[in-house]
Amino acid sequence: MLKARFATGIALLAISATGCALAASPRRNVVVPAEPTMIDYVDPATVAGLSVGAVTMGDSPSDLKVHISYPLLPDAPALTHALRRQAQQQLRDFLRRTKGPASYPRPELNVDWQLPAASSDVTGVRLRTGQRLGTSWGNSMRTLWFDPHTGTTVGSTALLKGKPELERLTSMVKDGLRDRGSQIKQDSVRPDDDVLDSMAFNRSGDLVVEFDDCQLGPCSLGRLAVAVPRAQATPLLSDLGRRAQASVLRTAAAPTLSGPPATPRRPPDLVTGRDRGVDCAKTKCVALTFDDGPGPYTGELLDVLRKQDTRATFFVLGANAAAQPQILRRMGAEGHLVESHSWSHRDLSMQGSSMVAGSLRDTSAILSVVTGQTSQLVRPPYGAVSKQLMSIAYRMGLSLVTWDVNARDDNGGDPRDIAGRVVRQAHPGAIILMHDIHRHSVDAVPDIITRLRAKGYTFVTVPELYGAAGMQAGRLYGSGSELPGKRPLT
Ligand code: NI
């Protein structure tokens, strides 16, 4: 997928991030005049039964930062299989690329996704892969299509009838790129599966062909994509392609489903321990925290927590929250605290200020709309903090929360080992890091609760650890047993 070296890619990053936010933003009923190569994505919250899978590395001591997420659709096992296989392949490629003593300091791989189409006729999944090697960040895109009629997952070229149509499309794309200047390497536009690997339709039914950063010329060219007008594209389409186009047109014509946003309010009883009758200065308290979700096992975890009458703090990704608002509402209704873990799990200590602010603002907005609560906390992805991030968090009224007990549950493992690690390290004021996107993590929770309770611990949310002193915006909290803000920046 990643076809060339990367230098800047900032222009594409900004455009793509806006596109992503538009699809799932609480402001999604606002129709923005579209640039023809922009794709309107399906709101994933409208796709019944959708959940999110992920492959991750980096919260435990590791030189690598990896977060690959992909949608899980209940009626498309072949799609899930293809996306999982692709995620594992991307991880392997990344590990190979970054291996060796001369490699880059803490390289990062981040894959997020959107749905260009989702109906009973066809589902499209656009994967956006961001990679940081050294100081450069670059994006590449790939769009896969699932055909429920045949139960198969295919690449973007399957939207076309065959080789002659692919060749005709290639020359149309070349024509479309001509006015972008002489720096474009026309020869790089070939009728290959690997070159034309990200195609979808805009809301007018035009076929949008997009390229990776730096694929067709200098990275300074920014995003390169061509919209082939509907009238010219339609005769080239396969049956699958026509269904995909029709599905997009139907979605574009349908009224948007955005109800009035809930009025944000401060959580009434979660700010200090006193409100719940728990004083963590006198009681042995610990805070269970779950990152990266909600995921496919979060519902089961909520069942466990309810059964054990235990409250937790969930640091959710904005993208996942937008896709699964129901489960966030359940978290709030059952007394858990739902807070931010950024939009898509990029290392915020390495991003420009506008990207950081956008990621935090969009996540707070979706949490506010879904839960009716104002965000107070952010857990920075990978626990990575910078002075810039702290000052942005300060301006946005957010406290930064890391952890002092790491379940180290992101690489598989036996639930008994995970529970053992947590119970051994637990101490009064502990902030315990876990991930509700893994089966083995959720399986470890009943044991953790039983054993810590037997040792006299009370489970509280993170702000309750700090009691009446509360938590201040822009400060870093890594443990309920130390003074805030004293930890060195990571
Ligand atoms: Ni995380």
Q: Are 10 and 219 in contact (CB under 8 A)?
A: no
Distance 395 CA to ligand 1 centre (A): 23
Q: What is the mean pLDDT of the chain?
A: 87
Distance 403 CA to ligand 1 centre (A): 12
* Mean pLDDT for the stretch of residues 283-304: 96
Distance 341 CA to ligand 1 centre (A): 7
Distance 224 CA to ligand 1 centre (A): 31
Q: Which residue has the tokens 């295919």?
A: 154
Helix (H) or strand (E) holding 316: strand 313-316
Distance 117 CA to ligand 1 centre (A): 28
Q: Are 468 and 272 in contact (CB under 8 A)?
A: yes
Which pLDDT belongs to residue 135? 77
Tell me if the pTM is above 0.85: yes
Task: Check pLDDT > 70 for residue 258.
Answer: no
* Mean pLDDT for the stretch of residues 202-209: 96
Distance 190 CA to ligand 1 centre (A): 38
CA dist 473 and 480 (Å) reads 16
Distance 194 CA to ligand 1 centre (A): 31
252's CB contacts (< 8 A; 6+ apart) are 40, 203, 204
Q: Is the peptide bond before 294 cis (omega within 30 degrees of 0)?
A: yes
198's CB contacts (< 8 A; 6+ apart) are 126, 141, 142, 143, 156, 209, 210, 211, 212
Q: C-alpha 50: how far from its chain's center? A: 14
Distance 443 CA to ligand 1 centre (A): 19
Which pLDDT belongs to residue 281? 87
Confidence of residue 219 (pLDDT cuts 50, 70, 90): confident
* Mean pLDDT for the stretch of residues 198-218: 95
The Cβ-side half-sphere exposure at 149, using a 13 Å CA radius, reads 8
291 is catalytic: yes
Helix (H) or strand (E) holding 285: strand 285-291
Task: Check pLDDT > 70 for residue 17.
Answer: no
Q: Are 337 and 462 in contact (CB under 8 A)?
A: yes
Q: Are 89 and 81 in contact (CB under 8 A)?
A: no
Confidence of residue 13 (pLDDT cuts 50, 70, 90): very low
67 is catalytic: no
253-263: string of b/e by CB count within 10 Å (b at 16+)?
Answer: eeeeeeeeeee
Task: Check pLDDT > 60 for residue 10.
Answer: no
Which pLDDT belongs to residue 102? 58
Which pLDDT belongs to residue 257? 52
| Tens digits of residue pLDDT in 360-417 | 999 999 999 999 989 999 999 999 999 999 999 999 999 999 999 999 998 778 999 9
The CA–CA distances, whole Å, from 387 to 327, 352, 393, 474, 489 equal 33, 12, 10, 9, 8
Task: Check pLDDT > 70 for residue 419.
Answer: yes
Which pLDDT belongs to residue 58? 87
Residue 65's nearest CA partner among 287, 354, 292 is 292
Per mean pLDDT, which range of 27-36, 82-91, 123-132, 336-345 is the poorest? 27-36
The two three-digit tokens of residue 185, written as one number: 């390497």
Per mean pLDDT, which range of 51-65, 166-180, 234-248, 328-342 is the poorest? 51-65
| Tens digits of residue pLDDT in 21-63 | 333 444 444 444 458 889 989 999 999 999 999 999 888 767 7
Q: Are 437 and 245 in contact (CB under 8 A)?
A: no
The two three-digit tokens of residue 93, written as one number: 């490629």
Confidence of residue 267 (pLDDT cuts 50, 70, 90): very low
Q: Burial-class residue 161 by CB neighbours within 10 Å (0-12, 13-18, 19+).
A: middle
Catalytic option among 67, 336, 435, 440: 435
In terms of DSSP bridges, do strands 65-72 and 108-118 run parallel, antiparallel, or are they unpaired?
parallel
Catalytic option among 59, 213, 291, 409: 291
Q: Which residue has the tokens 């045949």?
A: 150
Distance 429 CA to ligand 1 centre (A): 21
The two three-digit tokens of residue 168, written as one number: 């005709």
| Tens digits of residue pLDDT in 462-477 | 999 998 889 999 999 9
CA dist 57 and 485 (Å) reads 26
Distance 388 CA to ligand 1 centre (A): 19
Which pLDDT belongs to residue 131? 93
CA dist 343 and 311 (Å) reads 24
> What phi, psi does 72 have (nearest 5°)?
-115, 115
- Strand, helix or coil at 431? strand
CA dist 68 and 37 (Å) reads 25
Distance 345 CA to ligand 1 centre (A): 6
Confidence of residue 488 (pLDDT cuts 50, 70, 90): very low
Confidence of residue 20 (pLDDT cuts 50, 70, 90): very low
In terms of DSSP bridges, do strands 108-118 and 123-133 run parallel, antiparallel, or are they unpaired?
antiparallel
Amino acid at residue number 165: E
Task: Check pLDDT > 80 for residue 359.
Answer: yes
Which pLDDT belongs to residue 9? 30
* Mean pLDDT for the stretch of residues 92-113: 85
